Chain A
Amino acid sequence: EIVLTQSPGTLSLFPGERATLSCRASQSVNSNHLAWYQQKPGQAPRLLIYGASTRATGIPDRFSGSGSGTDFTLTISRLEPEDFALYYCQHFGRSLWTFGQGTKVEIK
């Protein structure tokens, strides 16, 4: 069973800075089945990226995803106040879904 490990656990940045979030899989995965979600307190998660690099409908272009094999990255080019939140990577494979443990992006 695939395990997704996200790092860092918490990222403290100023608005306007660049955020780089990592998601590492315990074995090579199909990047087409790798997605990223954003979750704000008290809200359901929101799809940001699917297929490792395709932005979902309505997602600003400051969000980008990259990676393949075991290493994937979510980048937020310039943090806006509304971007401070929790971020999860997710994978689907062999009929099983897996989430990473999340990275919190907080205001410094």
Chain B
Amino acid sequence: QVTLKESGPVLVKPTETLTLTCTVSGFSLSNAKMGVNWIRQSPGKALEWLAHIFSNDEKSYSTSLKSRLTISKDTSKSQVVLIMTNMDPVDTATYYCARTVMDIAVGVASEFIYYYYMDVWGKGTTVAVSS
């Protein structure tokens, strides 16, 4: 059974750095077809993608938050860590990690078709930013 679990502080102060950990089970972070994404959701707002990391250590970040984010993984511990610097009250949100799948199929012309999606999500961890 595939599970992901987010952990981190419930409350951080403005200007502090947030460190979140996603601990996965049921799959390996070294699986070539898989990775982990971080997504957040402010109260009453839409989902906002933050960062992803794939098994080959390829990383990508939200354009608007790129300067504040760092994602990394420890395959031996089955953990993905997201660091967000200079926290602000607007960063108050529920933070989710999700498994990313890169699925490959063969098309009718024998071409490779790549699918990308997030198939299993953690329950999320709520972070409040307040002094």
Contacts and interface: CB of A to CB of B under 8 A. Distances in A.
B119 A97 contact: no
Interface residues of A, number: 26
B63 A1 contact: yes
Given A33-B115, A51-B115, A97-B37, A44 B121 contact: yes
B60 interface: yes
A101 interface: yes
B119 A47 contact: yes
Given A88-B46, A99-B49, A100-B46, A47 B118 contact: yes
Interface in B26-61: 37, 39, 46-49, 52, 58, 60
A84 interface: no
A96 B114 CA distance: 15
A54 B116 CA distance: 12
Nearest to A44: B121
A35 B37 CA distance: 15
Interface residues of B, number: 26
A96 B60 contact: yes
Given A97-B37, A97-B52, A44 B124 contact: yes
A92 B119 contact: no
Contact of A32 (B47, B48, B62, B114): B114
A75 interface: no
A108 B49 CA distance: 31
A99 B117 CA distance: 12
Contacts of B114: 32-33
B22 to A, nearest CB: 12
Contacts of B63: 1, 96
A35 B121 CA distance: 14
Nearest to B4: A44
A23 to B, nearest CB: 13
The 3 closest A-B pairs by CB, nearest first: A50-B117, A44-B121, A97-B49
Interface of B: 37, 39, 46-49, 52, 58, 60, 62-63, 96, 98, 103, 113-124
Given A37-B47, A90-B118, 17 more contacts: A39-B47, A43-B123, A44-B121, A45-B98, A45-B121, A50-B116, A92-B116, A95-B52, A95-B58, A96-B60, A96-B62, A97-B49, A98-B49, A99-B46, A99-B48, A101-B46, A102-B47
